[in-house]
Structures are given as structure tokens and as C-alpha cells.
Amino acid sequence: MHHIGKLLVAGLALLASSTIACAQDAPENATLVLGAQESGTVQWEIQTIKDLGLDQKHHLTLEVRPLADSRAGQVALLTGTVDVILSDFIWVSIQRSEGNMVTAVPHSLAVGGLMVSPDSAIATVTDLNELTIGVAGGPVDKSWVVLQAYYNSITGEKLADHVNAKYGAPPLINELLRSGKIDAGLNFWQWNARSKAVGMREVISVAQMLSELGVDEQPPLLGWTFTDQVANDKNDAIVRFLEASFEAKEILGHDDAIWERLKGVMGASDDPALFIQLRDDYRRGIVPRYDESTVQAAEQTFGLMARFGGSDLVGSSDRLAAGTFWSGFRK
């Protein structure tokens, strides 16, 4: 019995030391503050990360703070109120050129396209001559700049000289297109998806236009954006967040079941056609990888933006600023 007791004590001691070792081996959670628009499609990925426990899997405590709009996010980032926001890579490049050291990792690809009514005679961009086109986002909207570049590559002329452009908020552009008050529309992808769900037709996608303009692969547009200082001070948290983000993207890209949980946040609980269109178009914008070819596609796109959008769009430099895309992570 004495021998058994000694074995029992030794076994318990071994178990205790093993438990302590495991506890020491498990990394502590790293905390990251993410700023995100409450109504934005970014919430679909955030909810997926939370629903599947990907934050905990990657030992991350993710604090999500609501933002009113993209401008509020940029201010919050530059003042240190949040660690990470979603922003477009052109803004990141402009900031670096101006001395604000922010950097990004791709979140979504450039998507969208030229939309017309189902019975429209418009088949190519050259059919836009003398017609009215609605543009969301204003005169330096990126899709509008790409369309102008594409038109110029075909005709050698300026599209703005041949069409009547009307600028407005995304819901207004969709309403004008639906009611026939404009002949074609360029809108943000999620609003284009709503148009498709009620029968509107895409003439050509932004991705196709860029491809024909010589951009070798579909470029990123939006990226998880943070300062160089955060990248240095919270390196573990940033990497863990990016790992969780890319894992969520991979799941959203192929798992239909996970999307059922998102119907509410998508605003498509009672509209099956809209739900499917939003899901499928979102998938077209998922970043499949992040490597040097991704950065090259962004550099090519920036060059086009500089040529056709000018300093109003890209700032004082006609080249993508070094460090726009963070080198501390690849996927």
C-alpha cells in the first residue's frame, strides 16, 4: 500500500507539472481594437470570426468599435483610437507619401461593374455615347476612373466628353437606374448586387476592364489598415487577426451553411434572390492569397488611377508608395 501511495503521489505530481507546462505553453490572448462600420459588409467577416470562434482559436481578443463612415475610421486610426480599420490602398499610399506611416494587408478585391436595365441596347462601353450614366462616389470614384481608362483604351477619346455623368449616393443611383432616369449605372458592388437581384444586367465588370487594360490579376481594393507603430507594438495581435481573417475568408468562399447565419446582418432574411446574389458577388471579391503578385496588381492599378484620375484621386505621387502593403505577413 505504501508503494502504491508513493506511485499515486508521483503520478499526481507528474500530472500537475504537465498541466502547468501546458498552461505555460498556451499563448496568452493578444488584444486588438478594430474599427468597423456597423452597416458595412465587413461585418459579415467579423461575425463569421466570432461565430466560429476563430478569434479564440488564434488566441486573440478582438474589440470591435463602431464607426459612422470611412472618414471617421481614418481619423480614429490616425489618432490611435483604434488599431485597425478597413480602407482602400490608394488612401494608404497617399498617407505614406504625406508622412503618415500606415500600411495594409488586402481584405477584398476590386469588384463591381457597369449596370444597365435588362432591355437596354447597351452592349459595350462605346454604346454609352450621348447617354446618361450614374456614378456613386463622385468624380474620382475608382470604378468611374477605370471605366474612363477602358473607354480611352478602345476609342482614344475621353468618355467624359461623350456622356452626361450624374453623381449620387448608392441608393439614389440604383433608384435612377430602376426608374429609367439614367441609362447606365456604376455603383458599389453590394448595390450592384441589389440591382442584379431585381433583373438589372452587368455589361462589363471592373475586373474585366482592368484585365483588358493590362492588370495581370484582379487587384485588391480594400485592406486591413494599421500604422507601422501598431505593426511593431502589437505584432502578435496583428498576425493572429490576419490569420483569423484569411481563415474566415476561406470558409465564406466555399461553405454555404455558414452564410445562413449571416442573413440578418446582410439585410436579406426575407429575400432569397438578394441573399444568393450578395453571397455570390461577395465571394468574387474574396482575396485568395497575399503575395508579391497581389502587390504588383495594385501597383499596376495605381498607375492607371494616377494617369486617368490625377492628383485628385492619388495625391501628389504617380507611384504606389513603398510599404503601402505590409511585408510582415503573406498568405
pLDDT in tens, 280-293: 999 999 999 999 99
Judged by average pLDDT, the poorest of 2-6, 47-51, 250-254 is 2-6
Q: Does the pLDDT at position 90 exceed 50?
A: yes
Confidence at residue 153, expressed as pLDDT on a 0 to 100 scale: 95
pLDDT at 14: 53
16: how many CB neighbours lie within 10 A of its CB?
A: 10
At residue 102, the pLDDT reads 98
Q: In which band, very low, low, confident or very high, does the pLDDT at 24 lie, cut at 50, 70 and 90? A: low
Q: Is the pLDDT of residue 96 over 50?
A: yes
Does the pTM surpass 0.85? The reply is yes
pLDDT of residue 283: 97
Give the integer Cα–Cα distance in Å for 277 and 124: 23
Spatial contact of 67 and 83, defined as CB atoms under 8 Å apart: no
Q: Is the pLDDT of residue 128 over 90?
A: yes
Confidence of residue 22 (pLDDT cuts 50, 70, 90): very low
- For cell 448608392, what's the residue? 170
Query: How far from 189 is each of 145, 204, 215, 283, CA to CA, in Å?
Result: 15, 13, 20, 11
Average confidence score pLDDT of the chain:
92
CB 294 within 8 Å of CB 327: no
pLDDT top residue among 102 and 14: 102
Are 312 and 152 within 8 A, CB to CB?
A: no
Structure-block grid coordinates of residue 11: 503520478
Question: Over pLDDT 90: what percentage of the chain?
Answer: 87
Residue 303 has pLDDT above 80, yes or no: yes
pLDDT tens for 155-204 read 999 999 999 999 999 999 999 999 999 999 999 999 999 999 999 999 99
Provide the β-strand partners of residue 109.
Answer: 220
**pLDDT value at residue 23:** 45
**Cβ atoms within 10 Å of 59's Cβ, excluding its own:** 16
Inter-CA distances, 10 with 18, 20, 23, Å: 12, 15, 20
Per-residue CA distances from 21 to 12, 26, 29, 142 (Å): 14, 9, 17, 53
pLDDT band, residue 15 (cuts 50/70/90): low
pLDDT of residue 39: 86
Domains of the chain are 30-108+220-314 (3.40.190.10), 113-212 (3.40.190.10)
Given a cut of 80, whether residue 109 has pLDDT beyond it is yes
Q: Is 50 exceeded by the pLDDT of residue 21?
A: no
